[in-house]
Structure 1
Amino acid sequence: MPTVNDVEWDLVGISEIRWMLGGLSRQRTNVIANTKGFPDPIAELEMGKVWLRRDVEAWIRDNRPELLENKKGPTPE
């Protein structure tokens, strides 16, 4: 288990993850977050599960690369 000194603590919850996934519904985001292969949360707090942002970003790069392509902005004409 990582210690406070070992990890950059940029945490995200379901609300942040849903926007990272392109604005999905909270229900759909929970389904994705509970599928095999999605990063394990690092903690479950009273407000819900939390993940390291870098773990979720890595999952998006590997599993939903089209979301990253959309963030590049419009192509110049």
Structure 2
Amino acid sequence: MAQRKPLERDLSIKEVAEMTGQSADTIGDLVRIGRFPNAYKAGRGSRNSPIRIPEKDVDRYRQTQPRAAG
């Protein structure tokens, strides 16, 4: 039987900030400039919808940013 990959999670800005040791404001700025290319607004995508960042994007970012390797 083939081994299954664990499900990837989509993280909040706050969770990513805690993982990387950066502020939520910094993570929000990084989302806006495209450092997390698969980030999206959850729900209806309205102005106040929470942003979610796929875990694979965070892993990729942490590999390229030694200070964020936390």
Please report the TM-score for the alignment, with normalisation by the length of structure 1: 0.58
Higher-Rg member (1/2):
1
For residue 13 of structure 1, what is the aligned residue in structure 2? 12
Unmatched segments (≥5 aa) in structure 2: 1-5, 44-48
State percent identity of aligned pairs: 17
Aligned residues: 60
Unmatched segments (≥5 aa) in structure 1: 1-6, 72-77
1:17 counterpart letter in structure 2: V
Q: CA deviation at 1:52?
A: 1.3
- Using a 3 Å threshold, how does the CA distance of structure 1 residues 36 and 9 change in structure 2: closer, same or farther? closer
CA distance, structure 2, for counterparts of residue 10 and residue 21 of structure 1: 16
- The answer on 1:66 being equivalent to 2:67 is yes
